[in-house]
Amino acid sequence: MNFKCLFTLLCGSFLTASASAQLHFPPAFGNDTLNIRQDKITRAYITPRRIVWTSGDEAVKNPELLLRPNTGQSDIFGSGMCVLDSKGGKKASIILDFGRELHGGLSLYFSSVSPAKTPVIRLRFGESLSETCSELNSKSLVDTGSNETMDLKNNTATNDHAVRDMELTVPYYGGIEIGNTGYRFVRIDLLTPDMTINFKEVNAIFRYRNIPYQGSFKCDDERLNTIWTTGAYTVHLNMQDYVWDGIKRDRLIWLGDLHPETSTIAHVFGGDESVYATLDLACKQYPLPNNWFNGMSAYSMWYLIIHHDWYMHNGNLAFLQKHTDYIKGLIDQIDGRVNADGTEKLGGGKFLDWPSSPNKEGVEAGYRALLVWALKDAAKLCRILEDESYAKKCEDIIGRLNKKIMPHNNLKQASALMALAGIMDTEEACKGNLLVGGPKGFSTFYGYYMLQALAQGGYYAEAMDIISQYWGGMIDLGATTFWEDFNLEWTQNAGRIDEFVPEGKKDIHGDFGAYCYPGFRHSFCHGWASGPTAWLSEHVLGVKVLEPGCKKVRIEPHLGKLQWAEGTFPTPNGVIKIRHEKQPDGTVKTTCKAPKGVKIVK
């Protein structure tokens, strides 16, 4: 499936904008091109899907004209336009819904204004409708057009990572482009009094990496299909010049948050160059010795795990060799800080994810399990690099760490890591903790590893039920991408993100969130939340890479309650096409077609 097909499916409209693979500079540049970096991101212009609200017919006329297909050209005549009129003390405001979370800005075209002077408008981008109406870091009462007000409380809306609330002087005639953030909704307020302004177009500028969706997943449970697609799209939005954590907040490389994203990228897009660029830049930003990625030793462990999984999928030995010195330097840094009795003094943050933070004992257990898992993968990498001495050094560190196994303290994040690292019985982890309460205690980031541990224990049907409840719970509230954090308890008496919050209900965006993401600071497009996409491809389609570069792949489906599942899996040699059908006797019939150079075993 290519992206145009996907976006047409999800949004109903799509306008492409091509980008040349090679830059051709005008002759006037001569040879002075050393400081020019090519933009690898494609731009598309998207019209709004609906008018959510206006401040009234007297102040806003013909808003439906903004839903017409865009041309990207202003007009000197004012007829047939959407008019915002602030004359006579009127307040002219409009809220637009682009139908789906996007990354980018806004393109506005005007025909004329009256009187002939430059007006000032206010733009507010929002991932939810409530955020679009919010004030920066303050209480606000917002007119919803229904003669009532909506109390947004201390909403913690911010401009700290991307400016999403701004005032803008617009031209008398012509167009203007503004903004670079993650959003779905836009509110426009005409601030200049006694003014009429004619809008010809208001278009979203959609910035995305123009790459095909090579992987796919479908089954007889449409909810799971939507979850798979939503996870893929969440990561796609974060594949900018580098792989980001979020498109509104955390618009940078967080190495420790990256593994769910690289897992999803491998299952959906294959060996995309954004991952290579991200790992290269991260090493430059945090050189050894005496550095940890993002200042946290736990995040450096994820670097080793990512390298192992990425190499197994893509088989790019040259890239792995390029990182040899950093991998070995990191092993040396760990080796020098783990004592003979199993205690360690690595320093940096002992961080798993935000929701686990209060459980200090559980975090400590999970952190040590993460070290063991990472060092096991590091040993494998060293043997691929033909350095047995460093492989044995990793195993020696593991031996020291395993002298001091700590209890998970009922923290699901910790027990999942301990099972995956092989230092806790998987059945004990699943029955004693992970399955208790179903999705209770799951998180958007570490939920992926809880699902992986459940699969390791054979609890595929139970894992799919949790995916449907937990990640599906966001979709039930209007999500088109997965969120930085989520708790099913928040959904009780909560309104949707694409509606004004009804009186007596909670605002799922403004009223919740914690730690670094209270209220509207909460990111609604966070790549670390995409785990179910990779999980469904790996365990329901049943694709397990056995040899680097997908030269040998096992197909072993686990349908659970499903009757059928089908999809594609990208390899460096092309896609594997797979279909599983449950037979009347309960067995599963599998048909698959692999490209040349890929051996399938069952």
Confidence of residue 149 (pLDDT cuts 50, 70, 90): very low
Q: Which of 529, 570, 539, 533 is nearest to 258 (CA)?
A: 529
Say yes or no to pLDDT of 494 above 70.
yes
Provide mean pLDDT across the span 401-407. 95
- Per the listing, tokens 């000032």 go with 120
Cis peptide before 69 (omega within 30 of 0): no
pLDDT of residue 23: 66
Concatenate the DSSP letters of all residues of 14-26 into one string: -------SS----
471-499 mean pLDDT? 97
- Pick 374 or 157 by higher pLDDT: 374
Mean pLDDT of the 530-549 span: 98
Domains of the chain: 45-208 (2.60.120.260), 286-424 (no CATH)
pLDDT score at 453: 98
Q: How confident is the model at residue 153 (pLDDT cuts 50, 70, 90)?
A: very low
More confident residue, 100 or 174: 100
Which residue type is seen at 131?
E
Average pLDDT over residues 163-191: 94
Q: Is the pLDDT of residue 517 over 90?
A: no
| pLDDT 10s digits, 238-251 | 999 999 999 999 89
Asked whether the bond before 115 is cis by omega within 30 degrees of 0, the reply is yes
Q: What is the pLDDT of residues 37-93, one digit of tens each?
A: 778 899 999 999 999 999 988 999 999 999 999 888 888 765 689 999 999 999 999
Q: What is the pLDDT of residues 428-450, one digit of tens each?
A: 999 999 999 999 999 999 999 99
- Mean pLDDT to the nearest integer, 492-505: 96
Predicted pLDDT at 321: 98
Coil, strand or helix at 568: strand
pLDDT, position 10: 45
- Report strand pairing: 494-495 vs 506-507: parallel
**pLDDT given at position 566:** 98
Work out the pLDDT band at 36, boundaries 50, 70, 90. Answer: confident
198-225 residue pLDDT tens: 999 999 999 999 999 999 999 999 999 9
**Could you give the 3-state DSSP secondary structure of residue 601?**
strand
Per-residue confidence at 142, pLDDT binned at 50, 70, 90?
A: very low
Q: What are the tens digits of pLDDT across the range 117-136?
A: 789 999 999 999 999 999 98
Of 133, 131, 121, 142, the residue nearest 189 (C-alpha):
121
- The reported pLDDT for the residue numbered 83 is 93
- DSSP code string of 128-177: SHHHHT--BTS--EEE-SSS-EEE--S--B--SSS--EEEEE--SSEEEE
By the 10 Å C-beta count (0-12 exposed, 13-18 middle, 19+ buried), 395 is classed as: middle
pLDDT at 76: 75
Q: Coil, strand, or helix at residue 363? A: helix
Nearest to 131 by CA among 167, 172, 97, 106: 97
pLDDT, tens digit (0-9, with 9 covering 90-100), for 3-18: 444 544 444 433 333 3
Whether 152 shows a pLDDT value over 50: the answer reads no
Determine the Cα–Cα distance for residues 45 and 297; give it in Å rounded to an integer.
Answer: 42
- Cα separation, 557 vs 565, whole angstroms: 9
In terms of Cα–Cα distance, which of 451, 297, 320 is closest to 377? 320
> Rounded CA gap, 420 and 282, in Å?
26
Identify which has the larger pLDDT, 481 or 19. 481
Question: What is the arithmetic mean of pLDDT over 22-33?
Answer: 72
Question: Average pLDDT, whole number, for the chain?
Answer: 91
Alpha-carbon span 152 to 562, nearest angstrom: 42
CA end-to-end distance (rounded Å), the chain: 26
pLDDT computed for residue 146 by the predictor? 36
Give the model's pLDDT for residue 33: 66
Vertex 348 angle, CA 342 and 352, to 5°: 80
Q: What is the DSSP string of 309-361?
A: HHHHHH--HHHHHHTHHHHHHHHHHHHTTB-TTS-B---S---S-GGGTT-HH
As given in the structure block, the two tokens for residue 113 are 């204004």
Whether the pLDDT of residue 180 is over 50: the answer is yes
Q: Is the confidence at residue 141, as pLDDT, over 70?
A: no
Q: What is the pLDDT of residues 314-336, one digit of tens each?
A: 999 999 999 999 999 999 999 99
CA 456 – CA 452 distance, rounded (Å)? 6
Q: Which of helix, strand or coil describes residue 207?
A: strand
